[in-house]
């Protein structure tokens, strides 16, 4: 079977709709996962009683269970206890919780680079632990952890394809749906790989520019 460019061109509107959904769910999840990571890292760095153990347990649970199982638990399991979320927000929640655990570890690793003397200097100036984290530790940690945070964000973007398993009409769902109807596997998977590659390159470019500006004050 030859590659049919005309067929692929005819599927562009459907692929664009799937692309918009993928970008929306991924962008929201990336932002929320970074917030989760920052809060969790703050809790663990500041040794908040109970919450510190909860955060550590959350990281271990997420890292040692499959994302697909977590997604199914949120979408199919939560309604049995009266918590029902839409397809979109089930996807956002699952991706946020999954990536949030990894972002927490990324940022915590960045916090390890904040030397003890810097913390003691901040406290000697009268800064509270929370203000030290917000004004000094977190900005430095994010600057150091940015490459690892980018890798997690890229993984989140690619893992958004799992959401087709619950019926969310994102990019992969659209491609598989067209394959089931027209059996044009080569065209659709070629388009799918090309679009994901482009998305990852754009995200990498944006993050690299951000890293460049963050590193600018530290260049000699």
- Give the start-to-end residue ranges of the domains of the chain: 5-218
Superfamily of chain region 5-218: MetI-like (1.10.3720.10)
How far apart (Å, rounded) are the C-alpha atoms in residues 5 and 191?
A: 11
Question: Residues 26-46: pLDDT tens digits?
Answer: 999 999 999 999 999 989 888
Residue 156's pLDDT is what?
Answer: 94
Q: Are 125 and 98 in contact (CB under 8 A)?
A: no
User: Mind giving me the DSSP string for 50-117?
Assistant: THHHHHHHHHHHHHTS-HHHHHHIIIIIGGGGT----HHHHHHHHHHHHHHHHHHHHHHHHHTTS-HH
Mean pLDDT along residues 5-9? 84
Give the pLDDT band of residue 115 (cuts 50, 70, 90): low
Residue 220's pLDDT is what?
Answer: 52
Residue 106's pLDDT is what?
Answer: 92
Closest CA to 18 of 205, 191, 206, 207: 191
pTM, two decimals, is 0.89
């Amino acid at each position: 079977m030859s590659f049919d460019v005309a067929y692929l061109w005819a599927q562009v509107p459907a692929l664009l709709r799937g692309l918009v959904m993928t970008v929306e769910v991924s962008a929201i999840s990336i932002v929320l996962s970074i917030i989760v990571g920052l809060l969790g890292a703050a809790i663990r760095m500041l040794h908040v009683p109970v919450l510190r153990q909860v955060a550590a347990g959350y990281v271990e649970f997420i890292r040692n269970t499959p994302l697909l199982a977590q997604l199914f638990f949120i979408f199919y399991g939560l309604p049995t206890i009266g918590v029902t979320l839409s397809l979109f927000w089930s996807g956002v929640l699952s991706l946020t919780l999954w990536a949030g655990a990894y972002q927490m570890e990324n940022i915590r690793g960045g916090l390890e680079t904040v030397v003890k003397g810097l913390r003691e200097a901040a406290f000697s100036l009268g800064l509270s632990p929370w203000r030290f984290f917000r004004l000094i530790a977190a900005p430095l940690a994010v600057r150091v952890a940015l490459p690892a945070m980018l890798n997690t964000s890229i993984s989140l973007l690619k893992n958004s394809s799992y959401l087709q398993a619950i019926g969310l009409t994102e990019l992969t769902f659209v491609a598989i749906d067209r394959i089931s109807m027209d059996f044009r596997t080569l065209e659709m998977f070629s388009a799918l790989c090309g679009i994901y590659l482009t998305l990852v390159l754009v995200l990498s470019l944006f993050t690299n520019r951000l890293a460049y500006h963050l590193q600018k004050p530290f260049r000699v």
